[in-house]
Structure 1
Amino acid sequence: MNGQSRAIRLTASTGDHCPRTGLWWVRGDEESTIFAYQGTLMPTHQGLRAEWSWTVSDPAL
């Protein structure tokens, strides 16, 4: 490896099943975080549909 890490990014919209357990945040509002379990439905944000993001840096990639 060359010492660089790559980010793994997943997205899910309100009503989608959560693809991965962990901390998720609304795109454009990184201070709004939730903890969601894999398989649960992604919620609304402030009563509106939202696109949720999950990212982790993995130096092994």
Structure 2
Amino acid sequence: MPVRHSVIHKIDKKPDGSPAVLFLGASEQIESQARDDLMSQLNESYDKRGQINFRRLTRHI
């Protein structure tokens, strides 16, 4: 399934137990092989661990 839109955010979680802080990505990522490879590796990693399958969470816009 192709990735049509993506934005990368940063979650900063401190080890002291304070609430995590979300930093929103500034803009949509441009289409690139590196982005597609990252998504593929992420899906493979989570599929192997029996965790969330991000392909099921993808919405078609």
Shorter-chain TM-score tier: under 0.3
TM-score by length of 2: 0.21
* More relative contact order, 1 or 2 (CA 8 Å, 6+ apart): 1
TM-score by length of 1: 0.21
| Structure with the larger strand share | 1
| Structure with the larger helix share | 2
